[in-house]
Structure 1
Amino acid sequence: MHYNNSLSMTQSSEQTALAPGYRLAEYTIVRQLSHGGFSVVYLALDDKDQKFAIKEYLPRQLACRDENGDVTVRHELDRDAFNLGLKCFFEEGRVLAEIEHPNVVRVTNFFRANQTVYMVMEYAEGRSLGRELELAGGRLEERRLRNCFAALLAGLREVHLHRLLHLDIKPANIYLRRGGAPLLLDFGAARQTLLRGNERFAAMYTPGYAAPEQYDREQPLGPWTDIYAVGACLYSCMGGGTPQAANLRRQEDRLVPASTLFRYDYSPELIALVDECLSLTPDARPASLMVVQKRLMATPFSAPEERPAPETGNRLVCWLKGLTGRSS
Structure 2
Amino acid sequence: MATQHKTKPAPLAPETQVGGYRIVRKVASGGFGVVYLALSPDGQKVAIKEYLPASLVERGPGESSPVVPPDKLALYRLGLKSFFEEGRSLAQISHPSVVSVLNFFRENDTVYMVMNYLEGASLQEFVITARELKRKKIFRESTIRSLFDDILQGLRVVHQHKMLHLDIKPANVFITDDNKPILIDFGAAREVLNQQDKRFRPMYTPGFAAPEMYKREGSFGPWTDIYAIGACIYACMTGYPPYEAPQRLEKDRLQAQLSKLRGVYSDNLIEIVEWCMALDAMARPQSVFNLQRELGAENARRYTNLTMGEKLRLHIDELVNDTKSQVQKVRDVTRFGAPVQAVQSPTPDRGKPADRERN
TM class by shorter-chain length? Answer: 0.7 to 0.9
Three-state SS of the structure 1 residue aligned to 2:67 is strand
Three-state SS of the structure 1 residue aligned to 2:103 is strand
Which residue in the other structure is 1:54 paired with?
Answer: 48
The 1:301–1:91 alpha-carbon spacing in structure 2 relative to 1, beyond 3 Å, is farther
RMSD over aligned CA atoms reads 1.9
Which residue in the other structure is 1:131 paired with?
Answer: 125
Distance 2:176 2:299 in 1: 27
Distance 1:191 1:244 in 2: 23
Structure 1 residue 148: Cα displacement: 0.5
Q: TM-score, length-normalised on structure 1?
A: 0.86
Q: Check conservation: 2:128, 2:239, Cα contact below 8 A.
A: no
Three-state SS of the structure 1 residue aligned to 2:22 is strand
Structure 1 residue 202: Cα displacement: 2.7
For 2:65, which of 64, 70, 94 is the aligned residue?
70
Which residue in the other structure is 2:195 paired with?
Answer: 196
Q: Check conservation: 2:222, 2:286, Cα contact below 8 A.
A: no
Structure 1 residue 303: Cα displacement: 4.1
Q: Structure 1 residue 150 and structure 2 residue 117: aligned?
A: no
Which residue in the other structure is 2:73 paired with?
Answer: 79
Distance 1:128 1:39 in 2: 19
- 1:185-230 per-position Cα deviation (integer Å, ceiling 9, x unaligned): 0000111111112222234211111111111122211101000000
Q: Check conservation: 2:33, 2:53, Cα contact below 8 A.
A: yes
Distance 1:64 1:49 in 2: 31
Structure 1 residue 307: Cα displacement: 6.2
The 1:51–1:263 alpha-carbon spacing in structure 2 relative to 1, beyond 3 Å, is same
Which residue in the other structure is 1:263 paired with?
Answer: 262
Q: Check conservation: 1:258, 1:271, Cα contact below 8 A.
A: no
Distance 2:256 2:51 in 1: 38
Flag structure 2 segments of 5+ consecutive residues without an equivalent: 1-5, 133-137, 309-359
Q: Structure 1 residue 25 and structure 2 residue 19: aligned?
A: yes
Which structure has more helix as a fraction of its residues? 2
Q: Check conservation: 2:131, 2:239, Cα contact below 8 A.
A: no
Q: How many residues align structurally?
A: 297
Q: Check conservation: 1:165, 1:222, Cα contact below 8 A.
A: yes
Q: Check conservation: 1:53, 1:121, Cα contact below 8 A.
A: yes
The 1:196–1:295 alpha-carbon spacing in structure 2 relative to 1, beyond 3 Å, is same
The 1:225–1:147 alpha-carbon spacing in structure 2 relative to 1, beyond 3 Å, is same
Distance 2:256 2:162 in 1: 31
Q: Structure 1 residue 90 and structure 2 residue 84: aligned?
A: yes
Which residue in the other structure is 2:94 paired with?
Answer: 100
Give the partner amino acid of 2:66. Answer: V
Distance 2:148 2:306 in 1: 26
Three-state SS of the structure 2 residue aligned to 1:180 is coil
Distance 2:94 2:229 in 1: 21
Q: Structure 1 residue 285 and structure 2 residue 280: aligned?
A: no
Give the partner amino acid of 1:181. Answer: K
Q: TM-score, length-normalised on structure 2?
A: 0.79
Distance 1:14 1:209 in 2: 27
Distance 1:77 1:302 in 2: 59
The 1:285–1:14 alpha-carbon spacing in structure 2 relative to 1, beyond 3 Å, is closer
Which residue in the other structure is 2:247 paired with?
Answer: 248
Distance 1:166 1:119 in 2: 16
Distance 2:305 2:253 in 1: 25
Which residue in the other structure is 2:135 paired with?
Answer: none
The 1:257–1:161 alpha-carbon spacing in structure 2 relative to 1, beyond 3 Å, is farther
Distance 1:103 1:151 in 2: 7
Structure 1 residue 19: Cα displacement: 1.7
Distance 1:257 1:170 in 2: 22
Structure 1 residue 257: Cα displacement: 4.4
Percent identity over paired residues: 47
Which residue in the other structure is 2:206 paired with?
Answer: 207
Three-state SS of the structure 2 residue aligned to 1:159 is helix
Distance 2:257 2:221 in 1: 24
- 1:59-113 per-position Cα deviation (integer Å, ceiling 9, x unaligned): 111112145321122x322211111111000000000000111110100000111
Q: Check conservation: 1:211, 1:228, Cα contact below 8 A.
A: yes
